[in-house]
Structure 1
Amino acid sequence: MSDQHDHLALTPEVKPPPLEAVEKVDYNDVSDFAEIPELERGIVRKVDMRILPPLWVMYWLNYLDRNNIGNAQSAGMGTDLHLTSTQYSLAVSIFFIGYLLLQVPSNMILHRTRPRFYLPGTMLAWGCMVLVYLAVRDAGGLIAVRLCLRIIEAGFFPGALFYMSRWYKRNELAKRYAAFYSASLLAGAFGGLLAGAILSGLEGTAGLPAWKWLFLIEGLMTISFCMVAPEYAVKRLLAERSSESAGETGISHLKALSLAVKDWKVWFLALSQNLAAAAGTITYFVPTLTEALGYAGRMSQFMTVPVYAVALVMMISFALSSDKLNERPWHIFVSAITGAVSCAIVADVDTVPVLRYVFFCFALAGIQTTVMLNFVLLGNSFGRPVEKRAVAIAIVNGVANLASVYGSYIWPSNTAPRYIPGFVSTTCFMGGVMICALVYRFVYPRFPDRVDRSGDAGGVSGGSE
Structure 2
Amino acid sequence: MATKETVLSEDRDADSASVSVPAVETYGANKSPGSVKGIFAWFDANDGPLERRVIMKLDFFILSYAFLAFWVMYIDRGMLTNAYISGLKEDLGFDGNELVQLNSIFQAGYCASMIPATLFLTKYPAQYIIPTSILGWGIFTILCFRANSFGELAAYRLCIALLQGPYFCSVHYILGSWYRRDELVRRAGVFYVSSGVGTMTTGLLAARIYASLDGALGHVGWRWMYVIAASMTFPIAIWGYFSLPGTPRDGKHWFFTEEEFGLAKERMSLQGRSNPKGGLISRATFKRFLGRWHFWLLVPWNIQWLLGYLSMVSGGPTLWLRSIPEYSTVQVNNYTAVAPSLGIVFIFAFSWIVDNGGRKAIVPLIAFACGIHFIAKFAWIAYDSTSFGYKWFATAVNYIEVSLSPINYSVANLACSADAEERAFVISSMLAFSTAFSAWVGILAFPTVEAPRFSKSYIMEAVLQVTYVAWTVLIVWFLGREDKKKEEKKAAEIQSAE
| Superposed displacement of residue 96, structure 1 | 1.9
The answer on whether the counterparts of 2:4 and 2:26 sit within 8 Å (CA) in structure 1 is no
The answer on whether the counterparts of 2:140 and 2:157 sit within 8 Å (CA) in structure 1 is no
Aligned to 1:273: 302
The answer on whether the counterparts of 2:379 and 2:386 sit within 8 Å (CA) in structure 1 is no
Higher RCO, 1 vs 2 (CA within 8 Å, ≥6 residues apart)? 1
Partner Cα separation in structure 2 for residue 449 and residue 295 of structure 1:
56
Distance 1:235-1:163 versus aligned 2 partners, 3 A rule: farther
1:37 aligns with 2:37: no
Aligned to 1:324: 356
1:237 aligns with 2:271: no
The answer on whether the counterparts of 1:336 and 1:370 sit within 8 Å (CA) in structure 2 is no
State the one-letter code of the partner of 2:402.
Answer: Q
Aligned to 1:289: 320
State the one-letter code of the partner of 1:290.
Answer: L
Q: Which of 103, 108, 112 matches 1:97?
A: 108
Aligned to 2:475: 440
**1:91-111, Cα deviation, whole Å (9 max, x unpaired):** 101112223322122112212
Report which stretch shifted further, 35-44 or 334-343. 35-44
Aligned to 2:177: 166
Partner Cα separation in structure 2 for residue 345 and residue 199 of structure 1:
30
Aligned to 2:405: 371
Q: TM-score, normalised by structure 2?
A: 0.80
Q: Which of 250, 272, 275 matches 2:277?
A: 250
**1:409-460, Cα deviation, whole Å (9 max, x unpaired):** 3233343343323432222222221121122223443355999xxxxxxxxx
| Superposed displacement of residue 234, structure 1 | 5.5
Aligned to 1:353: 388
**1:198-256, Cα deviation, whole Å (9 max, x unpaired):** 22121222222211111111012111221112334856426334679969471532254
Partner Cα separation in structure 2 for residue 389 and residue 149 of structure 1:
25
| Superposed displacement of residue 381, structure 1 | 1.6
Matched-pair identity in %: 18
The answer on whether the counterparts of 2:369 and 2:400 sit within 8 Å (CA) in structure 1 is yes
| Superposed displacement of residue 50, structure 1 | 1.8
Distance 1:359-1:250 versus aligned 2 partners, 3 A rule: same
Aligned to 2:138: 127
Partner Cα separation in structure 2 for residue 161 and residue 124 of structure 1:
20
Gaps of 5+ in 2: 8-23, 35-45, 246-251, 266-273, 487-498
1:56 aligns with 2:56: no
Partner Cα separation in structure 2 for residue 245 and residue 184 of structure 1:
28
State the one-letter code of the partner of 2:390.
Answer: L
| Superposed displacement of residue 391, structure 1 | 1.3
State the one-letter code of the partner of 2:256.
Answer: L
Aligned to 1:307: 339
Report which stretch shifted further, 318-327 or 76-85. 76-85
Distance 1:321-1:222 versus aligned 2 partners, 3 A rule: same
Aligned to 1:146: 157
The answer on whether the counterparts of 1:46 and 1:234 sit within 8 Å (CA) in structure 2 is no
Matches within 5 A, 1:331-410: 331-348=365-382, 350-362=385-397, 364-409=398-443, 410=445
Aligned to 1:25: 26
Distance 1:21-1:305 versus aligned 2 partners, 3 A rule: farther
Partner Cα separation in structure 1 for residue 424 and residue 208 of structure 2:
40
Distance 1:222-1:98 versus aligned 2 partners, 3 A rule: same
Q: Secondary structure in 2 aligned to 1:41?
A: helix
Quote the RMSD (CA, aligned, Å): 2.8
Partner Cα separation in structure 1 for residue 61 and residue 277 of structure 2:
26
Distance 1:413-1:87 versus aligned 2 partners, 3 A rule: closer
The answer on whether the counterparts of 1:311 and 1:366 sit within 8 Å (CA) in structure 2 is yes
Q: Secondary structure in 1 aligned to 2:401?
A: helix
Q: Secondary structure in 2 aligned to 1:218?
A: helix
State the one-letter code of the partner of 1:261.
Answer: L
Report which stretch shifted further, 79-88 or 229-238. 229-238
Aligned length: 433
The answer on whether the counterparts of 2:142 and 2:230 sit within 8 Å (CA) in structure 1 is yes
Partner Cα separation in structure 2 for residue 414 and residue 241 of structure 1:
57
Partner Cα separation in structure 1 for residue 413 and residue 164 of structure 2:
21
The answer on whether the counterparts of 1:162 and 1:379 sit within 8 Å (CA) in structure 2 is yes
State the one-letter code of the partner of 1:325.
Answer: G
| Superposed displacement of residue 114, structure 1 | 1.8
Aligned to 1:68: 79
Partner Cα separation in structure 2 for residue 283 and residue 305 of structure 1:
12
| Superposed displacement of residue 18, structure 1 | 4.1
Partner Cα separation in structure 1 for residue 400 and residue 275 of structure 2:
39
Gaps of 5+ in 1: 6-16, 452-465
Q: Secondary structure in 1 aligned to 2:256?
A: helix
Distance 1:45-1:71 versus aligned 2 partners, 3 A rule: same
Report which stretch shifted further, 396-405 or 82-91. 82-91
| Superposed displacement of residue 25, structure 1 | 2.1
Q: Secondary structure in 1 aligned to 2:26?
A: coil
Report which stretch shifted further, 176-185 or 335-344. 335-344
